[in-house]
Structure 1
Amino acid sequence: MEYRVKSMELAEQGKLKIEWAENHMPVLMLLRKKYSESKPLRGLRIGAVLHVTKETAVLMKALKDAGAEDVVLAASNPLSTQDDVAAALVEYGIRVYAWRGMSSEEYYWCINQVVRSNPDIVLDDGGDLHATIHREHLDLADKIIGGTEETTTGVIRLKALERDGLLKYPVIAVNNAYTKHLFDNRYGTGQSTFDGILRATNILIAGKVVVVAGYGWVGRGIAMRARGLGARRVIVTEVDPVRALEAVFDGFEVMPMIEAAKVGDIFITATGDKAVIRKEHMEKMKDGAILANAGHFNVEIWIPDLESLSAGKRLIRPNVTEYKLRDGRRIYLLAEGRLVNLVAAEGHPSEVMDMSFANQFLAVKYLYDNRGKLPPKVFNPPLELDERVARLKLESMNIEIDKLTKEQEEYLKSWTLGT
């Protein structure tokens, strides 16, 4: 079996991590148990470009147990791979091409190994797999049953591909499932972002001024956790007037980044766009300002501008690079500007990835069950799958909810009943 990981000697340690995740992902484990008997994915070839973490491992094992003939996995970020988990997956029969610290060339080489496996269904996080297929492998694109996309950034890229009339196969935007973005993006990223910042710096959040760029679901979660950790001020920067107004009504300060740059202690980007923090902002930051990114790509903090302002730099702690500016100020960049929660920590807690990856699993099954019936468009997950994940999650937490009576159901369907 072909694969490329850092060291197979790490496999036993990785198995323990995966076991921990399995114990905290009850929904996905229920689906895995159910479909390991009927094997609805029998014969399917699956190619995935996802963060290689213990939670991803549970998903990969579930897909294989459900009958997938070949499961090939590459990393969706050069620095997010948990090397021990990658090795453990190889022992389970998953072909993995991932190791922490890949160069850009190695990163795309790994993605191309996924493409070379001729997958029937592709899973992506960030859109690099989908983009590579559409840019370099159109012959394969015509054969693919469909794909999924895990994150906001990737959905944006796929919708652009669809808008240009170039999308070749149907894609389910798993990110748009309610049981994904309302929980993963908000509670998962909110907690794991600060987990990464604290592991990297060990600073005290209480009393600090935290600036959050972007108030989507990720930004909401980060701002909420900053407040919970005792930040003295939480400032939100936005370009969307509705989101900015929501941030105000949620009790946060809102101002342009050029003003926030003067007072912030910690800056966290979560926009999905490029150059959100750039030269004119860096020039106004106080000595010791900390920059962290929670967006998918390392373009939100514009590193070329930081380099141009600096007289020198050094790695002062793992995942903390100190930039010494020409005027003597110091700015600290975390995790090379990449996803701080995955580079400096372990990513989202297993409990929240349980729902995200249950959605991924059901999306793969839905695509396979409906092969040949869906046009090449970006689809939101069917509502019934979303509700199924939510009900299973509630059951796993021993939480019961009410049910509508027949009379209530009829009332909600009627237009004749009024005051």
Structure 2
Amino acid sequence: MGVEDGQARIDWARRSMPISAKAAGQLQAEVASHIGIAVPLDPATASMALWLIEAGFKVSVLGVALAHDTAQGAAELLAILSDAGANICDSRDAFVNAGFDIALDDKGEDLPDGLSRAVVLLAHEATAPDIPIIHLGASSLLQECVSKHGQGQSCVSGFLDITNLQIAGSHVLVIGYDAAGQGIAKYASSYGARVIVCEQDPVKAVKATLDGHQVAVLDVALPKATVVFHALENETCLTLPQLELLPSGAFLCSAGHSQHHSLFDQIGFEVPGKIIRDHVTQHELGSGTNVKLVCNGMPIHSQLGKGFPLEIADVQIAAQLHALATLIAPECDLGPGLHPLPNSIEIELAKAMLEQA
């Protein structure tokens, strides 16, 4: 894979995202507007960065958090962005000190001082901003489209692509039943898996039951599970002693949204593990049980340079561009704090999706 392949993937993405292309065409850069981008990199997000550059913005991109060792093609995408004029930051310190005044961030955990405004895909619970931030994670449209269907499909299909296994008849454990967990359960079930859901919130657990899935506590579910999708957004509830309960050879996948948290680090595996297949490492536990960790515990849907299905990426990228346009508009009067994507934009995006259907 080379730069030519990366350019071909970007060209395909741009042609396949008409809603985003329209939103990009309406952007006008302010004088000296500088946008810092720290979101998972794939052809869709690379396309967005290029559209911003073409609209006259200066763009800085955090390359380290985007280009994981398992993200094939990320280096090529970063090279294309660099050639287009983007400032590629090779460390978080370099990114924070890049001098941008508008941020587009994954979780808003490391927003630098001096920002005037930001767009955050999924705000951290502890986020207490003193600047206007549009929080896209609060959008019901994006929860349904991106988290449930986009993340759900790409997590399950990513696992199947990486392992070349089928899951029909297997017990698949989904930990967490927010939108992402719902989507993973839906798509795993569509492949014939027997889905078990572990969810501490009783209302979400009832929803999982009504959706036709078995609900169980971890200690009951783990001994049955041959594939585990960890769909909690922040800290894991899994420990090394709990992994001993899994059948030997079970697969463990992260389906969380954040690029800053690896299951490998959170669970505390003592050694990297033995590579048994591209993007799969085997870890021997104390009892002799082995667990196969996919993508080194990084979010499986954003690894390998694939990202969301382009129809889903289209609405997500368009939402990000509309949010940026809202913040830079002269009439913007948003005060400090988290703000939802304006309802008028959600309706516009929903109508655009219906037109594409």
TM-score (norm 1): 0.78
Q: Does residue 253 of structure 2 align to residue 292 of structure 1?
A: yes
User: Structure 1 pair 306/63, CA: closer, same or farther in 2 (3 Å)?
Assistant: closer
Q: Does residue 87 of structure 2 align to residue 147 of structure 1?
A: no
- Shift in Å at residue 58 of structure 1? 1.5
**Aligned equivalents of 2:192 and 2:49: distance in 1?**
38
Matched residue type, 2:220: E
Question: What is residue 235 of structure 1 aligned with on the other side?
Answer: 196
CA deviation vs aligned residue, 1:245-277 (integer Å, no higher than 9, x gap): 111111111111111011001000011232322
1:8-407 → structure 2 map (5 Å cutoff): 10-35=2-27, 39-68=28-57, 70-75=58-63, 76-79=65-68, 80=71, 82-97=74-89, 109=91, 111-130=92-111, 133=112, 138=113, 140=114, 144-151=115-122, 155-157=123-125, 160-162=126-128, 167-231=129-193, 233-295=194-256, 296=258, 299=261, 301=263, 303=265, 307=269, 313-344=273-304, 346-369=306-329, 373-397=333-357
**Aligned equivalents of 2:331 and 2:219: distance in 1?**
50
CA deviation vs aligned residue, 1:116-166 (integer Å, no higher than 9, x gap): 332121100122432xx2xxxx3x2xxx22101113xxx134xx232xxxx
- Shift in Å at residue 393 of structure 1? 2.2
Aligned Cα RMSD in Å?
Answer: 2.3
Q: What SS does the corresponding residue of 2:56 show, helix, strand or coil?
A: coil
Q: What SS does the corresponding residue of 1:262 show, helix, strand or coil?
A: helix
User: Structure 1 pair 47/313, CA: closer, same or farther in 2 (3 Å)?
Assistant: closer
CA deviation vs aligned residue, 1:78-98 (integer Å, no higher than 9, x gap): 514711111112222222236
**Aligned equivalents of 1:29 and 1:179: distance in 2?**
19
Q: Which structure is higher in RCO with an 8 Å CA cutoff and minimum separation 6?
A: 2
**Aligned equivalents of 1:78 and 1:396: distance in 2?**
31
- Structure 2 unaligned residues grouped into runs of 5+: none
Q: What SS does the corresponding residue of 2:283 show, helix, strand or coil?
A: strand
Contact map agreement 1:274 1:302 (CA 8 A) in 2:
no
CA deviation vs aligned residue, 1:50-74 (integer Å, no higher than 9, x gap): 1121100121122223332x11111
- Shift in Å at residue 24 of structure 1? 1.2
Bigger Rg, structure 1 or 2? 1
- Shift in Å at residue 297 of structure 1? 5.0
Contact map agreement 1:297 1:338 (CA 8 A) in 2:
yes
User: Structure 1 pair 306/376, CA: closer, same or farther in 2 (3 Å)?
Assistant: closer
Q: What SS does the corresponding residue of 1:315 show, helix, strand or coil?
A: strand
Matched residue type, 2:148: R
The number of residues matched between the two structures is 352
If each structure's helix is expressed as a fraction of its own residues, which one has the higher value?
1
Q: What SS does the corresponding residue of 1:281 show, helix, strand or coil?
A: helix
CA deviation vs aligned residue, 1:327-352 (integer Å, no higher than 9, x gap): 33221011111111222461111110
Contact map agreement 2:247 2:289 (CA 8 A) in 1:
yes
**Aligned equivalents of 1:275 and 1:282: distance in 2?**
12
User: Structure 1 pair 87/185, CA: closer, same or farther in 2 (3 Å)?
Assistant: same
- Shift in Å at residue 190 of structure 1? 0.9
Contact map agreement 1:247 1:254 (CA 8 A) in 2:
yes
Q: What SS does the corresponding residue of 2:224 show, helix, strand or coil?
A: coil
Q: What SS does the corresponding residue of 1:161 show, helix, strand or coil?
A: coil
Q: What SS does the corresponding residue of 2:159 show, helix, strand or coil?
A: helix
- Shift in Å at residue 200 of structure 1? 2.1
Matched residue type, 1:243: K
**Aligned equivalents of 1:323 and 1:306: distance in 2?**
11
- Shift in Å at residue 305 of structure 1? 5.2
Question: What is residue 401 of structure 1 aligned with on the other side?
Answer: none
**Aligned equivalents of 2:232 and 2:157: distance in 1?**
19
TM-score (norm 2): 0.91
**Aligned equivalents of 1:270 and 1:304: distance in 2?**
14
Q: What SS does the corresponding residue of 1:129 show, helix, strand or coil?
A: coil
**Aligned equivalents of 1:119 and 1:299: distance in 2?**
24
Matched residue type, 2:242: H
Q: What SS does the corresponding residue of 2:273 show, helix, strand or coil?
A: strand
**Aligned equivalents of 1:53 and 1:304: distance in 2?**
25
